Chain A
């Protein structure tokens, strides 16, 4: 039997921003940084990706990040994490282990959480990438960001962007309905400071407000 820890997820919609929490401790969307914007034709990017392609050496990759189309010149070996941090000035996403073992690099791709350190940037062209910078709406924090502030869900803060991205996905998957279930489904994010109790409280609060 499939245990209670692993129920079939319901299509819970993503929570709306909580208007009470305004403190913006996360860097805002990348557009402010004034980096080169690619032609805003996603459709074009998507069409390109449908064809058989060969890429060698550095080429212009087109990525959809936080609702914007960005171009980045990179070799196929460049990970999404390095593309974000080193080339697109989106340093909110953190590099912990660089080997899929800590979750600090968690981002959403087409709404699903993944480890950007094991994702090649060339392979996610045409997909919607959401990083921690893309959660807040203007000055309004995403409810998960607000809950982390309220519950003090961090100490040094290094794992926090990954925890928050994972928490957002955990709630939208419907995997935060009990404490035990939430612990299991947040287990892909390690916290060396041991802020787990408060992280759990934050994710559970957002889930319960549903």
Chain B
């Protein structure tokens, strides 16, 4: 790992300034992604700004949403009574990610900003536009079984690996950020970017912008929810595909629905068109199959990930059935 200067501010403003002023500085929260990438030489910041002394750990209900501090640990959020009562989908998605040890370190802010697990991004001897712009995408013509089927570009076909983010995009969360030019709110769906011609940029955050919290609005999705994660072993593995489903059902009829897929795109993939098809329909397998077909419109696979064209809709149908029965 490269040498770096370590600073530990106690004020958000100092942390923001330290990173905004210095293009080689990075925030560090749990460190579970950043330290890993630094050990591998994929990133080599000259300054780490430890944000763990900032007061950003609280989970509290404010107005009509639940505010999760950016430094709240994944394990703490998943176990929080309010989270489990109001947003059980989020608890399920969090507990499906990583391992108990990692969830004890990983934070809300760090989780959504974790970088792709694309093997070409990780392999320094391979081309990768995300790691080194202009070198090409090794995965495009390479081994691309883990890669995207939606929203990819010629420059990058990597997927976003976070489970938590799939639930947050489905639940219409809002990200609160503070930066050198003040504070702003970003709808969760607009936090991550599609790769386009600038795959080196994962998100729409500006340099020095610090995530302070995520707001998850109150919703009727407290019962009929499910997070279906398909992976190559029972636990402790990234998703091949995952499906987050939240339904509001009355007398067997779907009143409202929120759907998203993970492991299929450069960002958590919200399925708004499919959601609309569900509204007013009976919560039956027949409905779910029709909706899954709508969800998959526009999908395009590569040489090794054609299986996702069947796995993704099947995971979605399974999640819908489980959620409806919950």
The reply to whether chain A is a binding partner of chain B is yes
Q: Contact residues of B with A, CB < 8 Å?
A: 1-11, 14, 28, 31-32, 35-36, 38-40, 48, 50, 52-53, 75, 78-79, 81, 84, 88, 91-92, 95, 98-102, 104-105, 223, 225-226, 234-236, 326
Report whether A113 and B104 are in contact in the complex, using a CB–CB cutoff of 8 Å.
yes
| Among candidates A2, A52, A53, A119, residue contacting B92 with C-beta atoms closer than 8 Å | A2
Q: For residues 1 through 21 of chain A, which have their beta carbon under 8 Å from a beta carbon of chain B?
A: 1-3, 5-6, 8-9
Q: Would you call B102 and A115 a contact (CB within 8 A)?
A: yes
Q: Select one of B32, B100, B225 contacting A166, CB under 8 A.
A: B100
Task: Tell me how far the C-beta of B171 lies from the nearest C-beta in chain A, rounded to whole angstroms.
Answer: 15
Chain A residues closer than 8 Å to B32, beta-carbon distance = 100, 115, 118
A113–B100 CB distance below 8 A: yes
Q: Does A154 contact B (CB under 8 A)?
A: no
Complex alpha-carbon distance, A175 and B79, angstroms: 12
19 contacts between A and B (CB under 8 A): A1-B88, A1-B223, A2-B92, A5-B95, A9-B79, A50-B10, A53-B6, A55-B5, A76-B48, A79-B35, A106-B101, A113-B101, A115-B102, A118-B35, A118-B102, A173-B100, A184-B235, A187-B236, A188-B102
Nearest Cβ on chain A to B38's Cβ, whole angstroms: 8
Task: Name the one of A8, A51, A76, A103 contacting B79, with C-beta atoms under 8 angstroms.
Answer: A8
A6-B104 contact, Cβ under 8 Å, with A115-B32, A187-B235: no
Min CB distance B55 to A, Å, is: 12
Separation in Å of the A104 CB from the closest CB of chain B?
A: 11
Residue of A with least CB distance to B52: A123
Q: Which 10 A-B residue pairs are closest in the complex by CB-CB distance?
A: A188-B99, A187-B235, A76-B6, A1-B326, A187-B236, A55-B6, A77-B1, A56-B5, A188-B101, A112-B104
Nearest CB of A to B237, in Å = 9
Task: Tell me if A1 and B225 are in contact (CB < 8 A).
Answer: yes
Q: Does A99 make an interface contact (CB < 8 A)?
A: yes
Inter-subunit contact A52/B101 (CB<8 Å): no
Cβ–Cβ < 8 Å partners of A57 in chain B:
3
Q: Is the CB of A98 within 8 A of B104?
A: no
The answer to whether B6 and A118 touch across the interface, beta carbons within 8 angstroms, is: no
Q: Which chain A residue has the least Cβ–Cβ distance from B80?
A: A8
A195 on interface, CB distance cutoff 8 Å = no
Per-position binary interface string of chain A over residues 114-156, scored 1 when its CB falls under 8 Å from any chain B CB and 0 otherwise: 1100111011000000000000000000000000000000000
A52 B105 Cβ-Cβ under 8 A: no
The residue from A8, A52, A53, A118 contacting B84, defined by CB atoms under 8 A apart: A8
**Given A6-B91, A185-B100: A115 in contact with B105 (beta carbons within 8 A):** yes
Cβ of A1: which chain B residues have Cβ within 8 Å of it? 88, 223, 225-226, 326
Q: Which residues of B contact A2 (CB under 8 A)?
A: 84, 88, 91-92
Closest to B37 in A: A99
B229 to A: closest C-beta gap in Å = 12
A209 vs B5: C-alpha distance when bound (angstroms): 48
A window 49-99: CB within 8 A of B:
49-57, 75-77, 79, 98-99
User: Would you call A118 and B11 a contact (CB within 8 A)?
Assistant: no
